[in-house]
Structure 1
C-alpha cells in the first residue's frame, strides 16, 4: 500500500500543474490567520504536513517566520516547492516522508495540516497520525488541521477520504488537545467547484 500511495502522489505532482489540483490556493488566507492566531515567536518551529507545493511556506517566509519545515510524501512536490522558492528555499527544511512514518528529533511548536489528514481512512492509520502529532510536538504546541467536512467531497484526487465534523474531530484529538477554534469554510477549486472544509485549531494539553 505504502508504495502505491507514494506512486499516486508522484504521478499527481509530475503530471499536473500546481493550479490543476483541487486544493490549489494562490493565497492560503485561513491557514495564515490560524498560524498568526497562535501568537508564537517568529523563530518557532512550524511544520506544514503534506504541504506539497502549497503557497503557505512562501507566505510564512514573507511574514518573517524563520524556522519552517515542509513535509510531503512526493519528491516531485518538494522539488517543485524548492524551485519556486528559489533562494528562499535555504530557509526551509524539506522532508520527503509519509506523515504516518515521520519521526523527528525536532519538536514542533505548530503542526499545520490542510487537506492531507482526510486521506487516512483506516482507524489504525488515524490513530498512528494522532500519536505522531503528539510525539513530534512540544508540550504547548498548536495543532491546526483543515480537512473535508461532512458537506465536503467523498473523494479527492481519485482516492477515498474521511469526512469530519467537530464531534468526530474531537473523538480523535480531544483527549490530548484542547479545541481553541473550529469552523467550516468553502474552498473554491480552480475548476469552479466548491469543497467544504472544517478547520480546527487545537492546543496540546
Structure 2
C-alpha cells in the first residue's frame, strides 16, 4: 500500500511499472512522448563539467529511449549502461542506437534490483525524470541505497526531476516534486552539490515542464 504523500494521495493502488511502461513504449511514437528530447543539451552540459575520461562507466537509469545514449556514443564514450524496467523501451533504444560495443542494456527495477547490484562501480549516474516517479519512502530508500552502492568515491550523480513548480503528474502517474535541497537531503553528507539550476523544457506537444537540474559529487 502506498504511503500518504499529501491529503489527496492516500489509498491509491500500486502501479505495475513494467506493464505501464511497456504499454507506453509499445503504443506511442518515441518522438511524441512528453519527456522526449531531440537534443539533451542541458544534461550534456552537466556531464561535461565532470571531465570524465571516455572509458568512464556511465549509468543511465530509467533510460527509456533517451537520445542521451546516442549523444554519448557520438562523443566516443565507450562504457555506457542503459537500464530500464521496460523491455519494450530498451528494444527501441537499441534499434535506434544501432550495433555498438559501447552500450550494455539491462532490464531491471531500480527499487527491487536483481542485476544492477552486481555491476561495477560507476563514475557517473544520470537520472532524467526517473526518481520523481517513486512515491513511497520504501521506493526512494531503495533507489538511494543503490546509488550509494554503485557510485565510486569521487564519482558523480546527475538528478533531473520535476521542480516544485513543475507538473504533478507524468504519463498518467503521480510524481514527487523536488528542489536541490531535497535531493541533497536524500543523498546525504557524503555528496557535495556541484551545480544546480531550474530549466523549463517544452515538450513535443508544446507543454512547459519545469525541471531542477543538479550535479553532485561523492566525497
By the TM > 0.5 criterion, same fold?
yes
Partner of 1:98: 109
Alignment of 1:35-184 (within 5 A): 35-88=47-100, 90-100=101-111, 101=113, 102-184=116-198
Change (3 A) 1:2 1:10: farther
SS in 2 for 1:195: strand
How far residue 143 of structure 1 moved from its aligned partner, in angstroms, is: 0.5
Aligned counterparts of 2:63 and 2:16: Cα–Cα separation in 1? 19
TM-score with structure 1 setting the length: 0.96
1:187 to 166, 185, 201: 201
Runs of 4+ in 1 over 6 A off after TM superposition: none
Change (3 A) 1:188 1:137: same
Note the alpha carbon deviations across 1:10-61, whole angstroms, 9 max, x for none: 0001000001211000010011111111001110000111111000011011
Note the alpha carbon deviations across 1:166-189, whole angstroms, 9 max, x for none: 221222113231100111100110
1:33 aligns with 2:52: no
- The Cα RMSD (Å) is 1.3
Q: Unpaired segments of 5 or more residues in structure 1?
A: none
Partner of 2:212: 198
Aligned counterparts of 2:77 and 2:119: Cα–Cα separation in 1? 20
SS in 2 for 1:121: coil
- Size of the alignment, in residue pairs? 204
How far residue 2 of structure 1 moved from its aligned partner, in angstroms, is: 7.8
Answer whether contact 2:162 2:211 (CA < 8 A) is retained: yes
Aligned counterparts of 2:99 and 2:181: Cα–Cα separation in 1? 43
How far residue 64 of structure 1 moved from its aligned partner, in angstroms, is: 1.0
How far residue 3 of structure 1 moved from its aligned partner, in angstroms, is: 7.5
SS in 2 for 1:178: strand
Name the larger-Rg structure.
Answer: 2
SS in 1 for 2:164: coil
